[in-house]
Amino acid sequence: MSALKGNLETAAIFILIAALFDFSDGFAARLLKVSSAIGKELDSLADVVSFGVAPGMIVYTWLVRCTEGISPLHLGVLYEFLPFVALLVPALSAVRLARFNIDSKQVSSFLGLPTPANAMFLGFIPMAADRIVFLNNFWVVWLLTIAFSLLLVSHIWMLSLKFKDYKWKGVNIARYTLIIIGILLIPIFRWGAFPLIIMAYLIISLVYHALIKLQVI
């Protein structure tokens, strides 16, 4: 609702709050050693809204805003419908979450970009656009929306941030590197840091799994 009313920063902050709750409910379940099939499904349904519908509405509103002042001739005859590409976000988030629920292999890492990471990237684009000017460009945001939506259902292995121990070795080096990057970026870019952090997460994941395949680590 905040996104559709144009309050994009408020909407993005709600996504961040949802991510904290998403982490907390899993943490609480593990702490209390309780779980249920219906809890798993309800968690995914909540995630579709928090990390699919909400960022989709932010991107849609931002794309509409980016078309202001652009001649329809520069966007083509279907320019009024181009912002609806944002609907890919909730649709493919639902596919991603459904696949996660039936895949027992995604324990220590994820197959495809996790929905919270995608929501952090797309949802905070309007805040990052203050410092990163090309994020004000309609076509750049349009293509990023498609690319990151497809990453949700890709077969690329991505890091999980769930620590089994806290030693500086193995996969933890990649995790700590990402945390350090986040700590450095947030004071500089504030809310706009999240798309950059997710880009770092994507790059670190790709490099780490490439090194594993090459048997370097």
Of the candidates 156, 142, 149, 137, the one whose C-alpha atom is nearest the C-alpha of residue 201 is 156
Of 23-37, 122-136, 196-210, the one with minimum mean pLDDT is: 23-37
**Predicted local confidence at residue 107, as pLDDT:** 64
CA distance linking residue 209 with residue 63, whole number of Å = 34
Of 60-69, 73-82, 89-98, the one with minimum mean pLDDT is: 73-82
Give a three-class secondary structure readout of 130-189.
CCCHHHHCHHHHHHHHHHHHHHHCCCCEEECCCCCCCCCCCHHHHHHHHHHHHHHHHHHH
For residue 214, the SS3 value is coil
Band of pLDDT at residue 75, cut at 50, 70 and 90? confident
CA distance linking residue 29 with residue 75, whole number of Å = 49
The conformation of residue 217, written as its DSSP 8-state character, comes to: -
Whether the full predicted model's pTM is greater than 0.85, yes or no, is yes
**Predicted local confidence at residue 141, as pLDDT:** 97
Give a three-class secondary structure readout of 19-73.
HHHHHHHHHHHHHHCCCCHHHHHHHHHHHHHHHHHHHHHHHHHHHHHHCCCCCHH
**Predicted local confidence at residue 12, as pLDDT:** 97
Mean pLDDT of the chain: 90
Of the candidates 20, 144, 139, the one whose C-alpha atom is nearest the C-alpha of residue 74 is 139
CA distance linking residue 123 with residue 131, whole number of Å = 16
Write out pLDDT tens, residues 87-96.
999 999 999 9
Ordered by start, the domain boundaries in the chain are: 8-157
| Amino acid present at 208 | Y
Q: Which strand (E) or helix (H) includes residue 109?
A: strand 109-111
**Predicted local confidence at residue 49, as pLDDT:** 96
Band of pLDDT at residue 121, cut at 50, 70 and 90? very high
Residue 16 has pLDDT above 90, yes or no: yes
Does the CA dihedral 49-52-55-59 come out positive or negative?
Answer: negative
Q: Which strand (E) or helix (H) includes residue 128?
A: helix 125-128
